[in-house]
Amino acid sequence: MTAPATEHVPGLVLRGVTPPLRLADFGLIAFDMDSTLITIECIDEIADAVGKKAEVAAITDATMRGEIKDFKESLRRRVALLEGVPVGALQEVYDQRLHLSPGADELVGACRAAGLKVLLVSGGFTFFADRVKTRLGIDFARSNLLEEEGGRLTGRVRAQDWGDICDGAEKRRTLLEVASLLRLAPSQTIAVGDGANDLPMMVAAGLSVAFHAKPKVREQAMVAIEQGGLDRLLEVVRPG
């Protein structure tokens, strides 16, 4: 049963947690990427290059709201619409449209300073995840690999050594796998996301954080940031 919600301060809703908590009591924080660490859904912006943004975005929105239950099938449908997109369009999206969410630098920096390892685990794509990982000094990243041929996307996702598509179940598995490697209990992890496919890892974590999230996710998170940036988590989980 979900704990009752209380507004800690304007725009910051808590369920079943009493601040202040200490960052030092955790060892790992996991972030979703699209619409969490960054402000865009990369697949929607790639689709814009071929005039299919509205079609792809509609599937994305329905998936993040939890209306389309099978994330893998949803992603395959959306990626199929990208067939023929020049690979150079990905760089254009990164250069011109991808922005870090407000407070991302501050929160990741505070976590690293407190000794936490940082994980990016995304249903998005390695082209962007690898660059965001480098940009923010993130320790681990897992995401989906777009197949390309002759400088264009094929409309398929390429399998990797861990599996085919990073969906909600894979996000949860990755969080727990990295925690185990670090010799951490799940209770020592934090998971931050915005969409339905983030819920499995959020439920597994010791502290779940919804960032400007879909209603289904906000209603289940222990911390819901509804106004302001990611660094508002530091009002609940203090660096000291």
Average per-residue pLDDT for the chain:
95
Q: Which of 25, 32, 44, 161 is an active site residue?
A: 32
Average pLDDT over residues 119-136: 97
- Half-sphere exposure of residue 22: CA atoms within 13 angstroms, side-chain side: 5
Average pLDDT over residues 33-56: 93
Residues 206 and 184: beta-carbon distance below 8 Å: no
Give Cα separations from 35 to 1, 22, 160 (angstroms): 27, 26, 24
Residue 1 has pLDDT above 60, yes or no: no
Alpha-carbon torsion (133, 229, 90, 92), positive or negative: negative
Write the burial class of residue 7 (CB in 10 Å: 0-12 exposed, 13-18 middle, 19+ buried).
exposed
Residues across the chain: 240
Average pLDDT over residues 83-103: 96
CA distance 143 to 128: 9
Residue 130: active-site member:
no
Residue 192 has pLDDT above 60, yes or no: yes
Q: Which residues of 179-202 are buried (b: 16+ CB within 10 A; e: fewer)?
A: beebebebebbbbbbbbbbbbbbb
* DSSP-assigned letter for residue 16: S
The helix or strand, by DSSP H or E, that contains position 113, with its residue range, turns out to be helix 104-113
Higher pLDDT, 66 or 184: 184
Q: What is the pLDDT of residue 180?
A: 98
The residues facing 34 across adjacent strands are: 38
Q: Per the CATH hierarchy, to which homologous superfamily does domain 7-238 belong?
A: HAD superfamily/HAD-like (3.40.50.1000)
Under the banding of pLDDT at 50, 70 and 90, the label for residue 69 is confident
SS3 194: coil
Q: What is the pLDDT of residue 63?
A: 86
Average pLDDT over residues 95-100: 96
Average pLDDT over residues 68-93: 93
Residue 61: active-site member:
no
Q: What is the pLDDT of residue 2?
A: 64
Q: What is the pLDDT of residue 239?
A: 87
**Total-model pTM:** 0.94
CA distance 145 to 43: 12
Domain boundaries, the chain: 7-238
Model confidence over 203-237: pLDDT tens digits? 999 999 999 999 999 999 999 999 999 999 999 99
Between CA 74 and CA 223, with CA 205 as vertex, the angle to 5 degrees is 90
Which amino acid does the sequence have at 191?
Answer: A
Residue 161 has pLDDT above 90, yes or no: yes
Q: Which of 25, 34, 95, 130 is an active site residue?
A: 34
